């Protein structure tokens, strides 16, 4: 539990974020606040604010708790989600952002309506709302409260409620308040996160009479070499989660490109900026993503080695007496000196609140601009729409709180990896959505009928492949690396490979459906042409090459 000095450090963080947010909000109120300003902070976010906001919104309980838990169970291989994200951000910056900004796109459903039709846009708007609330807000609240409760000693229900209230306060100020307070959040996130990693490595070193963190890392690597393999082999018990080379050439790309390029929650931060500013922000975020495994994965590996040495034997158990990997990070934090514990607690809270605020703002944006304005009250003025957005923020957070109370432990407790839960269930829809966006961007003959096939068919095929092992023996796929035995004893297709298969099916289906329906359907004019848009500055090109070089080095060392 935290003591006085720890709470004082946390209070210092809380005051800085609150005062800074109020100051930005008061400055903003001097001008008329329309929907584009409230939801997108149009033209007012700098490149460093965009990059920091992307990371603050992305790094949350699912990383600090879920990914550390996967580090405990799987090892450094889970870092592929972070390091491949860095590469993905470069692709999005070069090819996706110019298309959005050139066509004045502010929401993802707006893109779908402009490129396809209102039916596709409305279906996806409703779907995204459900996904953000049921999967994202729920998981962030529950996993975050689990950690906060473990450190502070407060009941988990109270922690869920307090996190939600803190996030609502920040979110109600609009995207500009979120964007600039995220800069402060990222500072605490990185400093506090590194403090936990530093102490974990120092603790490892002290176990063998050493003192330096370099010695601690070396000991960690020597005592758990299987936890420092980036590409898992077929016989690895975690192969279903990270199926070997597929993390480099398969479904990992689909998951990341869909998340970073076709996701309102993420792209919203860059859509109100110019192309050069947005690109610089995404490049900055790419560098920060390379750093993230040091903060969220290494502590999990350290907790694993210390657990093998006899530590955390009780702390790692849940209420049913099962080892809960999601408790790896909180267990490690419990050993920190009081000052570092308070700093790490602030970092964790910053990550949770920033992600909750970003998700809630995206929910409000989609509901207000793509559902309420188009289907409920088409003539609503700007002030009314901003107020509807604020009401949506509060209502969505209340729903998420109730779901966290009822479903949190059932979905992410009992030793389950919280991070993998989020990735797999998001992966049921990612292939179809990404196929719809990709062909919508780069093939002018793609029709709305094809888009509907990808939207609905992608989900149906994902469910089909998920439950196929219950009816059909897939052991013949094992030699090819496309199946492994699950806990129930069935041979199952790894979910990253399922995403690849579904994506290919969606692309092929969309191609033939578009060929059949192209002449019958009026294709909306959409500007995805012009190679000039894809040209980058020399500064961006150099930065991108440095990112690629670092990633190549890391995968070579830890292959």
Query: What integer pLDDT is reported at residue 506 of this predicted model?
Result: 94
Q: Does 395 lie in the same domain as 475?
A: no
| Domains in the chain, number | 2
Does 510 have pLDDT greater than 90?
yes
Does 525 have pLDDT greater than 70?
no
Residue 285 lies in a domain: yes
CATH of the domain at 137: 1.20.1730.10
Q: Does 158 lie in the same domain as 14?
A: yes
Which of 59-68, 141-150, 316-325, 346-355 shows the lowest per-residue confidence on average (mean pLDDT)? Answer: 316-325
Residue 541 lies in a domain: no
Residue 70's pLDDT band, with cuts at 50, 70 and 90, is confident
Q: Does 447 lie in the same domain as 394?
A: no
Q: Does 393 lie in the same domain as 504?
A: no
Residue 289 lies in a domain: yes
Q: Does 505 lie in the same domain as 364?
A: no
* Domain end (from 417, 449, 470): 417
Residue 130 lies in a domain: yes
Q: Does 329 lie in the same domain as 279?
A: yes
Could you list the residue range(s) of the whole structural domain that residue 433 is in? 427-528
Residue 30 lies in a domain: no
Output the six-digit token pair for 255.
Answer: 């998951």
Query: What integer pLDDT is reported at residue 52 of this predicted model?
Result: 78
Residue 554 lies in a domain: no
Q: Does 354 lie in the same domain as 257?
A: yes
Average pLDDT of the chain? Answer: 79
Q: Does 384 lie in the same domain as 440?
A: no
- pLDDT tens string 122-131: 888 888 888 8
Residue 90's pLDDT band, with cuts at 50, 70 and 90, is very high
Query: What integer pLDDT is reported at residue 420 of this predicted model?
Result: 62
Contacts of 262 (CB under 8 A, 6+ apart): 96, 108, 433, 434, 437
* Domain end (from 417, 451, 480): 417
Q: Span 267-278, mean pLDDT?
A: 76
pLDDT > 70: percent of the chain: 83
Strands (E), 404-483: none
Task: Select from 165, 231, 193 the least CA-distant residue to 60.
Answer: 193
Question: From the CB of residue 233, how many other CB atoms can be counted at a distance below 10 Å?
Answer: 9
User: How does DSSP classify residue 477?
Assistant: G
User: For residues 432 and 178, which has the higher predicted lDDT (pLDDT)?
Assistant: 432
Residue 313 lies in a domain: yes
Question: From the CB of residue 43, how many other CB atoms can be counted at a distance below 10 Å?
Answer: 11
What are the percentages of helix, strand and coil residues in the chain, rounded to 5? 75, 0, 25
Q: Span 31-43, mean pLDDT?
A: 55
Residue 65 lies in a domain: yes
Q: How far apart are CA 263 and CA 362, in angstroms?
A: 9
- pLDDT tens string 157-179: 888 888 888 888 777 766 666 66
3 state SS of 476: helix
Q: Does 338 lie in the same domain as 471?
A: no
Residue 415's pLDDT band, with cuts at 50, 70 and 90, is very low
* Domain end (from 388, 417, 446): 417
Q: Does 254 lie in the same domain as 122?
A: yes
Q: Does 146 lie in the same domain as 128?
A: yes
Which of 41-45, 135-139, 501-505 shows the lowest per-residue confidence on average (mean pLDDT)? Answer: 41-45
Tell me the HSE value of 66 on the side-chain side, using a 13 A CA sphere: 28
Q: Does 453 lie in the same domain as 311?
A: no
């Amino acid at each position: 539990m935290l003591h006085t000095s720890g709470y004082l450090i946390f209070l210092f963080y809380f005051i800085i974020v609150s005062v800074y947010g109020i100051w930005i909000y008061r400055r903003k109120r001097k001008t008329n606040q329309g929907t584009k300003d409230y939801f997108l902070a149009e033209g007012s976010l700098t490149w460093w604010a965009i990059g920091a906001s992307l990371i603050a919104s992305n790094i949350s309980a699912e990383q600090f708790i879920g990914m550390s838990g996967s580090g405990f169970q799987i090892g450094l291989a889970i870092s592929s989600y972070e390091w491949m994200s860095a590469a993905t951000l470069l692709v999005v910056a070069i090819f996706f952002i110019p298309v959005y900004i050139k066509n004045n796109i502010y929401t993802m459903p707006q893109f779908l309506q402009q490129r396809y039709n209102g039916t596709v846009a409305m279906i996806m708007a409703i779907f995204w709302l459900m996904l953000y609330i049921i999967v994202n807000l729920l998981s962030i609240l529950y996993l975050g409260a689990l950690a906060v409760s473990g450190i502070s000693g407060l009941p988990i229900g109270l922690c869920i409620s307090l996190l939600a209230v803190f996030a609502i306060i920040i979110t109600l100020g609009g995207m500009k308040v979120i964007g600039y307070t995220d800069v402060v959040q990222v500072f605490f996130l990185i400093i506090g996160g590194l403090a936990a990693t530093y102490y974990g490595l120092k603790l490892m070193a002290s176990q063998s009479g050493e003192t330096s963190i370099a010695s601690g890392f070396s000991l960690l690597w020597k005592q758990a070499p299987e936890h420092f393999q980036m590409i898992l082999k077929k016989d690895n018990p975690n192969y279903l989660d990270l199926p070997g080379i597929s993390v480099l050439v398969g479904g990992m790309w689909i998951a990341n490109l869909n998340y970073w390029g076709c996701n309102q929650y993420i792209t919203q931060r860059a859509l109100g900026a110019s192309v050069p500013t947005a690109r610089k922000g995404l490049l900055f975020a790419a560098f920060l993503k390379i750093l993230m495994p040091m903060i969220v994965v290494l502590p999990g590996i350290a907790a694993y080695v210390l657990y093998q040495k006899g530590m955390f034997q009780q702390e790692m158990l849940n209420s049913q007496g099962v080892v809960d990997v999601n408790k790896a990070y909180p267990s490690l934090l419990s050993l920190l000196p009081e000052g570092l514990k308070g700093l790490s607690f602030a970092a964790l809270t910053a990550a949770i609140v920033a992600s909750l605020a970003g998700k809630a703002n995206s929910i409000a944006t989609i509901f207000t601009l793509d559902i309420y304005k188009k289907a409920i009250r088409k003539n609503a003025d700007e002030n009314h729409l901003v107020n509807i957005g604020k009401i949506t923020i509060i209502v969505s957070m209340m729903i998420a709180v109730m779901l966290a109370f009822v479903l949190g432990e059932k979905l992410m407790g009992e030793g389950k990896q919280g991070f993998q839960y989020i990735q797999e269930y998001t992966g049921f829809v990612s292939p179809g959505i990404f196929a719809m966006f990709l062909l919508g961007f780069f093939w002018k003959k793609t029709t709305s009928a094809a888009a509907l096939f990808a939207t609905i068919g992608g989900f149906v095929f994902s469910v089909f492949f998920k439950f196929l092992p219950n009816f059909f023996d897939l052991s013949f796929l094992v030699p090819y690396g496309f199946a492994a035995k699950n806990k129930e004893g069935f041979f199952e297709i790894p979910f990253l490979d399922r995403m690849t298969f579904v994506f290919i099916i969606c692309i092929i289906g969309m191609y033939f459906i578009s060929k059949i329906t192209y002449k019958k359907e009026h294709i909306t004019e959409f500007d995805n042409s012009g190679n000039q848009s894809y040209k980058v500055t020399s500064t961006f090109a150099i930065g991108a090459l440095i990112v690629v070089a670092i990633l190549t080095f890391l995968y070579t060392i830890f292959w």
